[in-house]
Structure 1
């Protein structure tokens, strides 16, 4: 099954260049402050960390410099998870001539702090773009909601040609909002929405986890592949733990078969998660993943809070509806969390799959699930071998990280739930980061990849951000 990662055979590699970034974080500048109200401590920390990491120092291996390149970029904006060998080869050939990124990258990050009962108690959301180069803190109300952002749909070419400014509204009626922001494409984190929709069907009794679904696409997509047959349980496992595109297409086609996609989008609206939208996908094969599929970090974090099982009224939707964890049954929530906790792609906010490496920098100190660890301690996920013994890092692990990652050329993302292991400093929080910094963008200090080794496909700045937030939460909560 194809997956949305571009690995050793096809990822950009670059000889070390420029000064080493190391683990140092440059002094941060002041955030753009919201008008009125106070800013939470975690929002301050998130903004200062993002600004200090200087995401603008990455290199672009495939900058858009001509009108023809812009047309090509627009043409490749559908099913971009299924990058062709020709496209991969072009990135590889361009790596030696990588140029500084043309403008401040697009980042959308949220941290929601939880109490010991998993209830949200505080949050911070920071948006960074050419318009907000040092990060803008977004104020939220008591329901962890904002109506003061004009969310725009991602535009691959428009990020280059329109100073990072979007033109298509995601949520209507926000013309007078004080913040205008183009949401990065979520890449494979969109699979959270697909699997949420499938488990809603399970809860309604429409399907069962152990039912066999025969995926018979009536048109073939390079993203999805051909016909297959498996249990819904196994499709979900493949979709969430190693990011199978084929399994995810099958699940999405099944939602279309049951006329459940429109209902899924309406459910997100009813929950007050207005930016979560599965739009313009193809009912014939479950493919055609493109920019109308949208997610903000704040709404994604709130969805994870429901999956995590916060008790009582977690928030009220804008229409006054009380939102509770019962949007999914207890069994579906527990299954969802268990699958996310089995994530094999620990290489964005956490980088423990490269335990002990000089590069990338260490991230969230999570425990690697045993299912991926071979007898020699190395991790292999769907045939991709990372080649580092993770047992020393597992021995020192401090948290579990139930999460989903995503990667295409101009999208890098990670979204998950962090919880302390027994006896460790008691952090309990959700962290979500979306950015346009996919595998097209690399660090100046990225070393060459050894033949046959699993390369680093994201900037290590993601991991440095993850570690900084985790250390902050550990220090804040201590042993509890």
Structure 2
């Protein structure tokens, strides 16, 4: 009963220095309730599980996103799939921004086997935070066999929190945390983006590649825009070389984002990313900081005011420009597959020109998309500075949406973490054409992205 009362009262809140009032859309529903309805309307339970419980050895997934090269040859089949045996875990957070970039409203909704109709997270407006969720580390086996209930706490002292939730593994969205750590040290004068970094992984690990010498700036760009694992390993190792990871994780906690962490990585090669965790709400706050804005963005529980100056203007500009150059636009937005009947269109994003070939198709490294995106770019309504991530049991996307000139105004941060990764499919999904980048997720993510964009226009 306590949970129900909290959920109904603490929905989306307008955030100002003087007051907090619910932000309602034209239909009168608060933002968080509209978000909850949009999530439930996707009916995720009719997704097909290609590796249902009992058909695969009991083992944790590899915590790396397969490379685009590996995925180009991935065969997609529904032959052995079965209906999803329970509601998936989903963590969705949005922050609506005012014209200056300040937080105007926040909403966070969780979906899980314990909350099949979604639960609105009570958010403290000044801190854009919650103490009402007991976050648990993700474990594939526990989700399959324990009704989705985790056993290891992410944040201590939450044993009595009314909402118990296992946070889906963030996949390559964790690269936002690596990027933040690098740029904090750039601002402290400990890293030079234009300096060469000689990456010599030891012990060798295939996912991290071999020895290379590249500018730090190039590693950063490849990590974000192409989701290149080799460059990510290099930057993780660079932070280890500087004994900086404890400081980076402590910074997230000190800034009121305690669920953000990268732990257990290998100092010798920058690999082993399974100890990364991110909640939707804290990730949205990190993107809010990167986006910037005047005044205090939020205040921590220790009464520390957090402003955009946690990163220098030059570092935020570089981070935003890199996110805006994202090549993989294929989860909440699906513009790389312009004109296909499947998947449906998601957030109506403009594809960055950097990746568009003379014939209008998109190639990102070795990842080849087979559609002419120019018609969709002409009809695009927004830019989407974001990072995607995919593993067998993780699908994630997090970024900043801004309307293009002359289009309906919206300006917001959106984060979606789910456990429906590449091992899940829609009953209507056709076979992927040979030689092109495959559809990695259920199109329900794109449908949700589109619906969120509609909500943010009308709220």
| TM beyond 0.5 | yes
Deviation at 1:157, TM superposition (A): 1.1
Q: How does 1:146-161 map to 2 (within 5 A)?
A: 146-161=130-145
Among 105, 122, 126, which residue is 2:88 paired with? 105
Query: Which runs of no fewer than 5 residues in structure 2 stay unpaired?
Result: 13-29
1:432 counterpart = 2:420: no
The whole-number CA distance in structure 2 between the counterparts of 1:470 and 1:237 is 27
Pick the aligned partner of 2:46 from 51, 54, 57: 57
**Alpha-carbon distance change, 101 to 334 in structure 1, aligned in 2, over 3 angstroms:** same
Higher fraction of strand: 2
Q: Aligned equivalents of 2:173 and 2:237: distance in 1?
A: 17
Q: CA deviation at 1:350?
A: 0.2
Does the Cα contact within 8 Å between 1:32 and 1:132 map onto a contact in 2? no
Once the 2 structures are TM-superposed, how far is the Cα of residue 268 of structure 1 from its aligned partner? Answer: 0.3
The answer to whether the 8 A contact 1:425-1:475 is kept is no
**Is residue 2:207 matched to residue 1:223?**
yes
Whether contact under 8 Å (1:414, 1:434) holds in the other structure is yes
Deviations, residues 271-296 of structure 1 (Å, cap 9, x unaligned): 01010011111111100011x21000
- Give the superposition deviation at 1:93: 8.0
Residues 86 and 330 (structure 1 numbering): CA distance in 2 closer, same or farther, change over 3 Å?
closer
Equivalent pair of 2:92/2:280 in contact (CA under 8 Å):
yes
Contact kept, 8 Å, 1:32 with 1:137, in 2: the verdict is no
| Match for residue 328 of structure 1 among 307, 311, 319 | 311
Q: Is the 8 A contact 2:49 2:84 kept in 1?
A: yes
Per the alignment, residue 17 of structure 1 pairs with: none
Q: Secondary structure at the match of 1:278?
A: strand
For the pair 1:69 / 2:52, whether they are aligned, the reply is no
SS at match of 2:206: coil
What is the 5 A alignment of 1:74-473?
74=60, 77-82=61-66, 92=75, 95-142=78-125, 143-290=127-274, 292-473=275-456
Say if 2:368 and 2:436, in contact at 8 Å, map to a contact too: yes
Counterpart in the other structure of 2:24: none
> Structure 2-normalised TM-score?
0.92
Indicate if the aligned counterparts of 1:62 and 1:94 stay in contact, CA closer than 8 A.
Answer: no
Query: 1:37 aligned to 2:9?
Result: yes
TM-fit CA distance, 1:94: 6.4
Contact 1:81 1:223 in 2 (8 A): no
TM-superposed deviation, 1:82: 4.7
Secondary structure at the residue paired with 1:108?
strand
Question: Could you tell me how far apart the structure 1 residues matched to 2:8 and 2:145 are?
Answer: 33
Q: What root-mean-square deviation, in Å, do the aligned CA atoms of Structure 1 and Structure 2 show?
A: 2.0
- 1:25 match: none
For structure 1, the 5+ residue unaligned runs are: 1-30
Q: Do the aligned partners of residues 194 and 113 (structure 1) sit closer, same or farther apart at CA in structure 2, a change above 3 Å counting?
A: same
Q: Contact conserved, 2:77 with 2:431, CA < 8 A, in 1? A: no
Using a 3 Å threshold, how does the CA distance of structure 1 residues 412 and 93 change in structure 2: closer, same or farther? closer
1:97 is paired with a residue whose SS is coil
CA distance in structure 1 between the aligned counterparts of 2:268 and 2:283, rounded to whole angstroms: 27
For the residues of structure 1 that align with 2:5 and 2:259, how far apart are their CA atoms? 23
Which position in structure 1 is the counterpart of 2:17?
none
TM-score, L = length of structure 1: 0.88
Q: 1:95, 1:214 → 2: CA distance?
A: 44
What CA distance in whole angstroms lies between the structure 1 residues aligned with 2:66 and 2:452? 32
